[in-house]
Amino acid sequence: MSLPLNILWFLLGGFVLFFLYLLGALILCITIIGIPFGIACFRLAGLAAAPFGREIREKEPPGGAVAVLMNIIWILLPGLELAVFHLIMALFFAITIIGLPFAAQHLKMTRLALLPFGFEARMAR
C-alpha cells in the first residue's frame, strides 16, 4: 500500500521538497564544515521522496554529546524553520479527510527536520 501512496505523494508536491532538500544538501556539502549538515539534508531528501512505509528511529549506537551539539547548531540555523514549515503543511493537509495520510507524513518529517542527528528514517517492520 505504501508504493501507491509514495507515488501520489511525489507527484502532488513531494518532488518539490525532495529537490529543495537535495539542493540544500549540495550547497552545504561545498564546505568541509557543512558536510555533516549536508548529509542530514540528504537523509531528509530521501524521506521527502518516499515517506510512506518508513519510521523515525534512534540510531544504534546513539550519537552522544556530538549529536546533541550538532542538533543545537541545526535548530539555530535551519531546523526550527523546517520543523515549523512541516507543521504548517501538516495542518494544511489535515483540513480534509483525504489529506490526513499526508499530514501524518509531514508530522513524521517534522521530527527529523528538527533533530536530524542521532536519528534516521528506516523502513517500517
For 6-35, the DSSP string reads: HHHHIIIIIHHHHHHHHHHHHHHTTSSTTH
Task: Tell me the CB-side half-sphere exposure of residue 108, using CA atoms within 13 A.
Answer: 21
Q: Which three cell numbers stand for residue 11?
A: 507527484
Is residue 3 a contact partner of residue 49, using CB atoms and an 8 Å limit? no
Say yes or no to pLDDT of 122 above 90. Answer: no
Task: For residue range 5-57, list pLDDT tens digits in order.
Answer: 999 999 988 899 999 999 999 999 999 999 999 999 999 999 999 999 888 88
Nearest 10 degrees: CA dihedral of 27, 31, 34, 38? Answer: 40
Average pLDDT score over the chain: 89
* Of 66 and 72, the one with more pLDDT: 72
What's the pLDDT at 58? 81
Q: Is the full-model pTM beyond 0.95?
A: no
- pLDDT above 70 as % of the chain: 98
Q: Which three cell numbers stand for residue 12?
A: 502532488
- pLDDT above 90 as % of the chain: 51
What's the pLDDT at 60? 72
Residue with cell 508504493: 3
Whole-angstrom Cα distance, residue 4 to residue 29?
Answer: 32
What's the pLDDT at 86? 93
